[in-house]
Amino acid sequence: MRAILSSVLGCLVLASAPVTTVFGQQSAITAVPSQGLTLEGAEALALTNQPRMLAAQLRARASDQRIREARSAFLPLMAFNATGVKVADAGTSTATGNITTSAISDRFAYGGNLSQLVSDFGRTSALVGSVRATAEAQADLATLTRAQVRLNVREAYYRVLGTEAVLRAAQAAQANRQLISKQLSALAASELRSTLDVNFANVLESEAELAVVRAQSTVAQQRARLATAMGSIQPIAAPLADIAAPDTPLPPDAESYLQTAQAQRADLNAVKAQQLAASEFALSEKRLSYPTLSVLAAGGEIPYRDHTLHDSYAAVGFNLNIPIFNGGLFAARRNEAELEASARGRDVQQVQLEVTEQVRDSWYQADEAYRSLDVSARLVAQSEEALRLAQDRYDAGLGSIVELNEAQLNETSAEITAADTTYTYLSRRVELDFAAGLLN
């Protein structure tokens, strides 16, 4: 907003655009009522249409499925098998599920296998805990995306309102310049004013017209940015409902916001969950060297068989796997996971520092904008009085056209500054709310 203000003041007025239509454009979003768009409606549409928001939600749901994937190791593994054997050379033969028979024979057999993990000394439990923490981190990132979408919509909405307020000031200045130019032309025709004053007024009128053209272009650009923030391809042409600046002052310091941010900032919660996931994974990697005990079972029927075979088969057993030596693979995996968990802990500390800085910086900027509201209001009143006096002096023949023009510029600049200050304060407040995690 400050950059826009500076560029427009260089040409007499800042940029802004028509409220209802911009260069003949129609309403960009079919869901937007033609009679107007509120900030709440813009946020609702953004949360429904924004691709970033939808993608984050889908990734959070996908991450939830990984919990089921990890928990599946606790459940029995069952499979159906069908095996056919043609007489072969002497040796062992197999029925369904690799259960060996006592003789070679032609046969067809079908049956099932079952495998159940009895204990792996907590490795699977640690893996489930790691995946669950990762899913929580992904959910926190979806929450962060939601907050960012709301922040972008509000800032874009306020920018449109600010540029439109500036456009109204520019149009008022243009109308005033046109009126003065006509008056001076009439006075010059009666030889009551010089042609120099008329030429000077015509130049000022053209400058005011140029400022309006640039302001209209800027509003169109800001409305296009609002459409992008809302997830729409077409620019928003519906009139926007105005927002009044909150009259409640900020807290005396940023400490209350800091406490809220430490508890609610979604990105901070996400890195904490990622650190927990890394710790749980490191625990699971440590338990790789523990034994694993499983129960195995198989059974079925042999409808087509040699007469020497029984018509069914069944077997049950267990398998105990005790790792002894694998070239240091498990030790390296454990060390890698533990180092990564330690690094994640440092990430948490770094994000805490960044959150603290963001909250304090946002509070200082919001406090500056709030204190500027009263100053800008006084500036408008003072510039309006100065313009009135300059106009009276010029009408009485005591002042020059240059003096009057300077007073007009000062009044227009004050109006623009006041509009910019109001919507800048609204933007700074929403940035502070985002930094404190209040937009979740």
Distance CA 6, CA 3 (A): 5
Identify whether 186 is part of a domain.
yes
Name the more confident of 307 and 312. Answer: 312
Identify whether 440 is part of a domain.
no
Identify whether 397 is part of a domain.
yes
E runs forming strands in 120-221? none
The residues with which 313 forms a beta bridge, in sequence order, are 300
pTM attached to this predicted model: 0.79
Residue 32 in this model has a pLDDT that exceeds 70? no
Q: How many angstroms from the chain centroid is the CA of residue 233?
A: 18
**Mean pLDDT of the region 95-122:** 75
276-305 confidence digits (pLDDT tens)? 999 999 999 999 999 999 999 999 998 887
150-162 confidence digits (pLDDT tens)? 999 999 999 999 9
Give the strand pairing for 107-119 and 292-304. antiparallel
Straight-line distance from the first to the last Cα atom of the chain, in angstroms, rounded to the nearest whole number: 25
337-378 confidence digits (pLDDT tens)? 999 999 999 999 999 999 999 999 999 999 999 989 889 889
Contact 420, 430 (CB under 8 A): no
44-76 confidence digits (pLDDT tens)? 999 999 999 999 999 999 999 999 999 999 999
Residue 312 in this model has a pLDDT that exceeds 90? no
Count of structural domains within the chain = 1
Identify whether 43 is part of a domain.
yes
Residue ranges making up the domain that contains 8: 2-435
Identify whether 121 is part of a domain.
yes
Contact 16, 165 (CB under 8 A): yes
Residue 10 in this model has a pLDDT that exceeds 60? no
Distance CA 143, CA 59 (A): 12
pLDDT at 120: 92
Residue from 374, 411, 373, 370 nearest 389 by CA: 411
At 178, the pLDDT band (50, 70, 90 cuts) reads confident
The residues with which 109 forms a beta bridge, in sequence order, are 83
Give the strand pairing for 77-85 and 312-321. unpaired
pLDDT at 391: 84
pLDDT at 62: 96
Contact 359, 436 (CB under 8 A): yes
pLDDT at 26: 35
Contact 167, 215 (CB under 8 A): yes
Contact 211, 5 (CB under 8 A): no
Residue 5 in this model has a pLDDT that exceeds 60? no
Report helix, strand or coil for 109: strand
Q: How many angstroms from the chain centroid is the CA of residue 33?
A: 25
Residue 216 in this model has a pLDDT that exceeds 60? yes
Q: How far is CA 319 from CA 37, 117, 296, in A?
A: 68, 10, 7
**CATH code, domain with 188:** 1.20.1600.10
